[in-house]
Structure 1
Amino acid sequence: MLTVVRVLTAAVLAFSGTTADPIKAQQEWVLDALNVKQAWTVTKGEGVTVAVVDSAVDTRVKELKGRVTTGPDMTTGSVQRELPPGRHGTAMAALIAGSGKGDGYTGVAPSARILSLPMVIDEEPGSAVPPMEEQPGVQSPLARALRYAANHGAQVVSMSIGSYGPLRSEREAVSYALSKGVVLVAAVGNDGQTQYARDKGTSYWSFPAGYPGVIGVAAVDKQGKRASFSSDNLSVLVSAPGVDVPVVKRGSGYELSQGTSSAAALVAGVAALLKARYPALAPEQVAQALAASARGRPAAGDDDETGFGVVDAAAALNAAERLVGAKRSITPGVEHFGQGEDTPVPSRPGPDPVRLWLYGGGVLVALAMFCGAIVVLNQRKEQ
């Protein structure tokens, strides 16, 4: 029996028709917002595989042709089938690794490869789904996808999907992928304008963005301001363009997208650049590099709306270089916490010798006095 998949698009695409101008001109502002072209002087993502957990990627798209490997259907662990190409997954894959072939769309990491991990999802705008009850011993589609990605060479996983409520199988799969050095990036969701958000001043948490160790990405507009629909809560680490972002259509052509989905895919592309340049960079170091180098940082340093600010690809590469350098400079015996007085040599274990002599001397004096008193008393009796 086929298991019903609960994972739906957390950041749904909403389109406004085809673009009239050449696609490279249309996407120029997105690449500029992320400072990608400067980063390309260092790396374009060579040797990195990004897993896209989403609807199936259309391998016929010219910008992705020959550069996509498709994994099994993650919807169920028992029934395997070939899923048709999806609109959402194709768009996200091209945002990450579009090659620009034939004056076409260029992704953030155009030399990276895509591992498509398809599942049945609802691609209709405004979709929402309650959390599925955990079934003992049964992994969710997302949990299966994360483990598959970690075991099949993915260095980055892009998850422009989500639902409400965590699952144990997913938490464990997230921990497993992180332990394998895989960078996990997810959209925080599009609940910024819900009634709950207006009443509470914060948005529902969406998962997988809400799991510890996952880089949660919010959406901003062309001015770098938080998109009104973008969820705001503590799962937001950084932000990226998510308003009127050009994307590749399934089959051919281009269209515009709205949502944190696009923002997450773009940041996954930047993460691919970091892993290409510094393959040994741990997931937490990638997150640190992205956050520390972000532009448009809020006055307080970070907030629930845009996190630490908008990702800057070139600055993130510089930050990663410093992290790698700092890691290599730390060797055993090196002063690490600063100068200070030397700690006194610890005393030997057991009784203190000085105190023993004082104590022994006191006992001897007391015995002498006691004996003297007895002698005096005896002398008095004899008299």
Structure 2
Amino acid sequence: MGVIVATWAVGVGTVMPAAADSDPPDYLTIMKAQEMWRVADGSGITVAVVDSGFKEVPGVRSESVLPGVSVMSPPIEQPDEKYSPHDDVDGHGTTMTAAIVGDGSGGGPKGLAPGAKVMPVRTSLGTPMAFAAGAEGAKGIRYAADNGAKIINLSWGDYYSYPRLKEAVQYAQSKGVLVIAAMGNDGEGNNAINLITQVPGVLGIGALDETAEPLALSSHGHTTDLSAYGSKAPIRCKENTAWCVKDGGTSYATALASASAALVWSAHPDWTAHQVARVLIETAGGPVDGAKRNDWIGYGAVRPRMVLLEKAGTPGAPDVDPLAPVPANTPTPTPSTGQTAVAPAEAASEEAGPPWQWLALGAVVAAGLGLAGTLIVKRRRS
């Protein structure tokens, strides 16, 4: 039996009224998106969203989304059944796509990297066959790496298929791909952490609210590397038939981190995945207590504007993982200071909305497997 991390809202949302293209959500204003887009908008970068697929909806232009692929397994009784990557029964993949490349119309979000292309890789997430999503996702990661993706967005995880997912992630990394994964939305439960975030080189993303405080629901730990906005946002709801306002959680935050990486890479196409990751870490808005990092927000909130507008960050060695262990007595860059708050559990917003859950498939839950609290250390940090 597997346990899928489908970092998705379980509460009732508020139907989203149509928004004007010129009225982006507040987080885009805070991030200075309009100014950044004059420098780079993600053009030339393909972000693979390995998720529940993509459905053509108001708010996402068809030219922003590539044909993609479906890796869904057909049911035993219908072995010849084929599935389109341009379909999505619950809207999770569609939401992640919109957060990256949406056009802001029809109530949907304006994407942070509107010039990028999204490659939808559809798994069985959100369907009765979701137990197969881990193995499918591993196949989808390899497909994305072999077909031009520069960034792979994983707003979910799977315990049972972790070994296969780890191998697929490492394969993608060997192809020069930057893999970005959600920490999970169990911060108010047993704080189960997405195992994919422990793979060396993977950026683990936590979620922040409107005030740059960590969301209480955000899973957190030693594998948290960066954080991004994950509070109230336009989310596909009602079985992917409408936009609603709900907490986006670490899923949404991961999409924004992927979009941030796309902006930086678009401006510096000769950089490697390690270099893009390094400057995002160096320019993050770190904890206000002066700590290098903490388990809630990692090195801090992603701030691509620091790279694009302030020309901050040093790309460094193209083939060195910025999160790899550093030899003793070797000076390391200090992340930029910023407004992001210190993140003890009691400081997290009480207005974060209804709790999120990790979808358990089968009778064995993460705690029963002993995986929720006992994780392999991804990397040692000096």
Q: TM-score, normalised by structure 2?
A: 0.71
Mapped partners of 1:158, 1:5: distance in 2? 21
**What does 1:13-162 align with in structure 2 at a 5 Å threshold?**
14-20=11-17, 22=19, 27-76=24-73, 81-83=82-84, 84-86=87-89, 87-100=91-104, 105-122=109-126, 140-162=135-157
- Superposed CA offset, 1:45-67 (max 9, x none): 11111111111101343423232
Judged with a 3 Å threshold, the aligned counterparts in structure 2 of structure 1 residues 320 and 180 are, in CA distance, closer, same or farther, namely farther
Match of 1:314 in 2: 305
Gaps of 5+ in 1: 133-138, 197-202, 329-336, 338-383
Mapped partners of 1:29, 1:62: distance in 2? 17
Mapped partners of 2:265, 2:106: distance in 1? 27
SS in 2 for 1:69: coil
Mapped partners of 2:232, 2:127: distance in 1? 18
2:221 to 215, 225, 233: 233
Match of 1:305 in 2: 296
Asked whether 1:295 is paired with 2:280, we answer: no
SS in 2 for 1:91: helix
Match of 2:205 in 1: 217
Q: Which amino acid aligns with 1:168?
A: P
Is contact 2:8-2:92 (8 Å) kept? no
User: Cα offset for 1:321?
Assistant: 6.8
Q: Which amino acid aligns with 1:81?
A: K
The alignment covers a number of residue pairs equal to: 307
Asked whether 1:174 is paired with 2:169, we answer: yes
Mapped partners of 2:207, 2:152: distance in 1? 18
User: Cα offset for 1:303?
Assistant: 0.5
User: Cα offset for 1:145?
Assistant: 1.1
Q: Which amino acid aligns with 1:231?
A: S
Is contact 1:55-1:85 (8 Å) kept? yes
Mapped partners of 1:273, 1:13: distance in 2? 31
Is contact 1:187-1:261 (8 Å) kept? yes
Q: Which amino acid aligns with 2:230?
A: G
Match of 2:351 in 1: none
Match of 2:340 in 1: none
Judged with a 3 Å threshold, the aligned counterparts in structure 2 of structure 1 residues 100 and 25 are, in CA distance, closer, same or farther, namely closer
Structure 1 vs Structure 2 CA RMSD: 3.1
Is contact 1:298-1:308 (8 Å) kept? no
Mapped partners of 1:103, 1:204: distance in 2? 33
* Higher share of residues assigned helix: 1
Match of 1:184 in 2: 179
Gaps of 5+ in 2: 319-329, 331-382
Is contact 2:9-2:246 (8 Å) kept? no
User: Cα offset for 1:262?
Assistant: 0.5
Mapped partners of 2:140, 2:36: distance in 1? 30
Is contact 2:264-2:276 (8 Å) kept? yes
Q: Which has the higher contact order (CA 8 A, sep 6+)?
A: 2
Mapped partners of 1:262, 1:144: distance in 2? 23
Match of 1:243 in 2: 231
Judged with a 3 Å threshold, the aligned counterparts in structure 2 of structure 1 residues 141 and 102 are, in CA distance, closer, same or farther, namely closer
When Rg is computed on C-alpha atoms for both structures, the one with the higher figure is 1
Mapped partners of 2:141, 2:159: distance in 1? 18
SS in 2 for 1:170: helix
Judged with a 3 Å threshold, the aligned counterparts in structure 2 of structure 1 residues 58 and 243 are, in CA distance, closer, same or farther, namely same
Q: Which amino acid aligns with 1:85?
A: D
Match of 2:339 in 1: none
User: Cα offset for 1:176?
Assistant: 1.3
